[in-house]
Chains A and B, each alone.
Chain A
């Protein structure tokens, strides 16, 4: 590796990391904003909970399952018309964020639902017996009690997103994973591939540690 290649590599890496952060950041943001309400919705329409509604519960769960069972590469292609509609383009990191976000929302919604299931039913009952409104139960009981699980789920989602974002290269999304494939795999530059993979490992480790830290802090059990 000579000087020119090194500066070129650093430039490329910088750009790729920015793209990865853009894609994953947008998707994580949208997962929080939309995945939590969706997971909450599926949870409270369950049997025995205050919005009990079999049909809505089924529709919510089914929607999540469709997205989750479609291989991400296929979802990426299937959503091209939708992406065009939303962001006006089908290439680049912003465009790649659309399918990524949709996959992440569905994935996270299911994890949110699971963490809510772990909240002690007795605590919900106690709040109901006190005369709490449903909104207050959600705000003061369900979400705080599930918070640790919500952080853990978000960590899993974020780590998966880093992996998925590599596939976003297919629609010209760029990113670190894409860099590893293009330089390392297609151009046989093994050293670049190793460097990017190591950087990805560090990134994932950082996400995991930060997530664990938040989850631990929120856990009062």
Chain B
């Protein structure tokens, strides 16, 4: 659907040239929710903006449905943009227009008639759950509601692509979840290819199918969200993932001599097997859970457990071997 080939973007800044995006090559599949994650200044927003040419790449090529877009301009560019919706961190609604008029603006731009607009806007407001707010102005809405209006406006013309620039970064946790649910719902209902950028791994984890990790203008790794979470390759990705699966133990537990503490990582279907109780039964050991977390990423479980293992040394050895076999990863963090 969207292909980047060796895309570079640089800006002149104080006589120097700043490379915001460096040699980016990958593609986004039709209908998927694709995430781009990275710290601020990583170039992800710049990269996103090249898709609808709000930012022209300095070099390289971008294909949308096989068509080169980097060279188009004028009316052709306008037509391209009609097929690509975009939502923003700060919502960017027209303050002097009502909710109805804001959504209608998207349709007016596409040259729709008054009748069509009158019919389509209520449908869109219904879809985003704001039917009763049609005549209010944006200043009267909460952040989450404003983003809903932004979404309605962006999808008004049935675009095939929806670009989301940090769509939840200005929202609280609960509202974030409801907006992400809405984006997911729209993705499924309308089959719209969604590209979402965020600095929060949590957002990516919740709705993306695949993710590209960006740092300093480069794409460091790209894989399914599950793989990036469970087997991050790059140090930067590891630190990003660790922020979300954060298991800190009090140091007193880790410093106790002779206390065998294991970190067990589960992944995929195996996380749902009764490994812990099996181990206890088979080897007659004590397993005391100190800390743990199970995440569901794209419906697949991924868990981390920190346990204290106790028993005769022979049994402990056997139990460890068994755990190693049956789990994704097992590591002794204190002995």
Contact = CB atoms under 8 A, between A and B. Distances in A.
Interface string B93-116: 111110000000110111000000
A113 interface: no
A11 interface: no
Interface string B313-333: 000000000000000000000
Contacts of A129: 52, 54, 81, 84-86, 163
Interface string A178-221: 00000000000000000000000000000000000000001011
B79 interface: yes
Contact of A141 (B86, B94, B106, B137): B94
Contacts of A136: 108-109
Contacts of B80: 131
B109 A132 contact: yes
A126 B81 contact: no
B47 to A, nearest CB: 15
A63 interface: no
Interface stretch (A27-35, A54-62, A86-94, A117-125): A117-125
Contacts of A144: 94, 96-97
Contacts, number: 76
A84 interface: no
A130 B155 CA distance: 10
A120 B92 CA distance: 8
Interface residues of A, number: 21
A212 B163 CA distance: 40
Contacts of B52: 129
Interface in B291-325: none
A136 B81 CA distance: 15
Nearest to A144: B96
Contact of A220 (B85, B88, B96, B108): B96
Interface string A111-149: 000000000101101111111110010001100110100
Interface in B128-161: 137-139, 150, 153-154, 157
A123 B105 contact: no
B82 interface: yes
Given A125-B54, A130-B106, A220 B137 contact: yes
B78 interface: yes
B94 A140 contact: yes
A134 to B, nearest CB: 10
Contact of B95 (A132, A140, A220): A220
Question: Interface size for chain B: under 10, 10 to 19, 20 to 34, or 35 or more residues?
Answer: 20 to 34
A101 to B, nearest CB: 29
Interface in A128-182: 128-133, 136, 140-141, 144-145, 147
Nearest to A120: B92
Given A129-B54, A129-B81, A220 B92 contact: no
A136 B112 CA distance: 14
B169 interface: no
A126 B95 CA distance: 13
A128 B55 CA distance: 12
Given A127-B105, A130-B81, A131-B109, A145 B95 contact: yes
B96 A131 contact: no
B137 A131 contact: no
Nearest to B52: A129
Contacts of A145: 94-96
Contacts of A132: 78, 105, 109
A123 B97 contact: no
A21 to B, nearest CB: 31
B90 interface: yes
Contacts of B137: 220
B100 to A, nearest CB: 14
B261 to A, nearest CB: 50
Contacts of A133: 78, 109
A127 B102 CA distance: 10
Contacts of B105: 127, 130, 132, 140
Contacts of A127: 94, 105, 109
B86 A126 contact: yes
Contacts of A123: 92-95
Nearest to B84: A129
B139 A221 contact: yes
Nearest to B86: A129
Given A123-B94, A131-B109, A144-B96, 16 more contacts: A125-B92, A126-B86, A126-B153, A127-B94, A127-B109, A128-B54, A130-B82, A130-B106, A131-B80, A140-B97, A144-B94, A145-B96, A218-B96, A220-B95, A221-B95, A221-B139
7 tightest Cβ-Cβ pairs between the two chains A and B: A131-B81, A126-B92, A122-B92, A131-B82, A129-B86, A144-B96, A132-B109
Interface of A: 120, 122-123, 125-133, 136, 140-141, 144-145, 147, 218, 220-221
15 contacts: A123-B92, A123-B93, A125-B54, A126-B153, A127-B105, A127-B109, A128-B54, A130-B153, A130-B154, A131-B78, A131-B80, A131-B82, A144-B97, A145-B96, A218-B96
